[in-house]
Each structure stands twice: as C-alpha cells, then as structure tokens.
Amino acid sequence: MMERRKEERRVVSEIYRKYITFKVRKGSGEFVPMELLDFSPNGIRIKSPYGLSVDSAVECIIAVPKSLTKEILFIGKVKYCIQDEPEGDYLIGAEVVETDNQIGFEVFSRVHNFIKERIGDIF
C-alpha cells in the first residue's frame, strides 16, 4: 500500500498515553475518553470501544493536563473505522478539518515530543 500522507505522524507510545487526555463527543453530547495512537497537524488515529460512521464529523479534545492547562478543541472527519478484532475495539482514522487553536495544536506537538524525549525526567 502506498503512503499518501504528506507529513510524519507522531506516534503516541503506550508508555506515555497516560499523560495525554483525548476525548470525543458522542451523539449524547458527552465527551468520552479514547486512546490517541498517532497524530499529525492534519490527521489522527485513535482506538475506541465505539464505532464511528465514516464521513461523520467528530468533535475532539486533546490535552496534556500535567504540562498544559488549556484543552485543544478540533473537528475531525472520520476517514475509516475498522474493528480491530471480533468483539474488540475500533481503529479510527480522521482528518483534522478545523481547530479553534492552530497554535495550541502546534504547542501540543512540541509538548508531545518533549514528553517522548524526557518521560522519566518530568513525571
């Protein structure tokens, strides 16, 4: 399969996922936590116990509570949603189509890199 991404995805390794908060607004209006697997300025890949409809818009919040006080809100458009294994979680890819804070999204990227490099030193 040919890679179509124009930028590098930043992988959020399991060892430091606990330092990143990622939530998606469900149809009921509440935000529910999901696992952020990787991200770039234009896309995300998440793991969820819930399936999401392809081409649907989802409201997302991302934060690093121990490093940043501000949550970053953005809208993603679901590109794919596949069940990882029968009766298992879903792997979901979404394009980032709108953000209320592009600078905040960039700051998150830099904080992510800092966490990755210094995980043992800061927490």
Give the CATH number, domain containing residue 111.
Answer: 2.40.10.220
| Token pair recorded at residue 87 | 């009766």
The residue-averaged pLDDT of 13-27 equals 83
Quick one: average pLDDT of 69-81? Answer: 88
- State how far the Cα of 76 lies from the Cα of 37, in Å rounded to an integer: 15
> For the chain, first and last CA: distance in Å?
39
Arithmetic mean of pLDDT over the chain: 79
Q: Is residue 26 part of a domain?
A: yes
Percent of the chain's residues with pLDDT above 90: 34
Q: What is the mean pLDDT of residues 72-101?
A: 89
Q: Which domain, by its residues, includes 41?
A: 10-117
In the structure, what pLDDT confidence band is assigned to residue 47 with cuts at 50, 70 and 90? very high
Is the residue at 4 inside a domain?
no
